[in-house]
Amino acid sequence: MKILVTGFDPFGGEAINPAGEAVKALPDRIKGAEIHKLEIPTVFHKSSDKIREAVRDIQPDVILAVGQAGGRYEITPERVAINIDDARIPDNEGNQPIDVAIQEDGENAYFTKLPVKAMVTAMKEAGIPASVSNSAGTFVCNHIMYQVLYMIDKEFPNMTGGFVHVPFIPEQVTDKPGKPSMNLADMTKGLEAGIEAIVSQAGKGDIKEVGGAIH
């Protein structure tokens, strides 16, 4: 099995993006699967163009994109991506789409087929706080998750893909009182555990486990 794992470059005035750093620290093999790591720009559409190039070169079985969700306490595998770009801030090239469809011929939403509940369970068993998320936002993280799932729907039906959000790391919150953080080593450990679950559950679907939210 080949897994393409992507992480974004820094954005929003930050000097570092923990998603990119955590991905770089992953081992090259996890539970027998080849791990291919790729940094992508925090730029609408350009990010998906870079993934498409890598997919054609690597031909992975799985695409797992990772992004930063500052303010979250846990690592959060995402369940769904929606067909809308609504940027609160500009991306790294100054683009700020508001209420724009990502793909005119795409579904209103795509649900991941990655075993997000098994991933959360594996992360917790590794001692890392985790939960299923039902909103990837409307910035470049949701954009890239949607683009990956759209690509799979239209071109690569035998591939699976999804997205995981990670919190800030401690050095990012020294000027953000009250904001939670997670150290980079734990973040990488959690991602590795989640990838182990992806490999273990391949062809089996997800586990049946409570993972919903009231709000």
Catalytic sites, residue numbers: 78, 141, 165
How does strand 76-77 pair with strand 33-40? unpaired
Question: What does the alpha-carbon distance between residue 206 and residue 118 come to, in Å, rounded to a whole number?
Answer: 6
| DSSP-H helix ranges across the chain | 18-24, 46-58, 116-125, 140-154, 184-200
Residues 84, 145 contacting (CB under 8 angstroms): no
What Cα–Cα distance (Å) separates residue 113 from each residue in 10, 36, 53, 133? 28, 20, 22, 14
In DSSP notation, 64-100 reads: EEEEE-TT-SSBEEB-EEES-B--SS--TTS----SB
70 contacts 133 by C-beta, under 8 angstroms: no
Q: At what angle do helices 46-58 and 140-154 cross, to 10 degrees?
A: 40
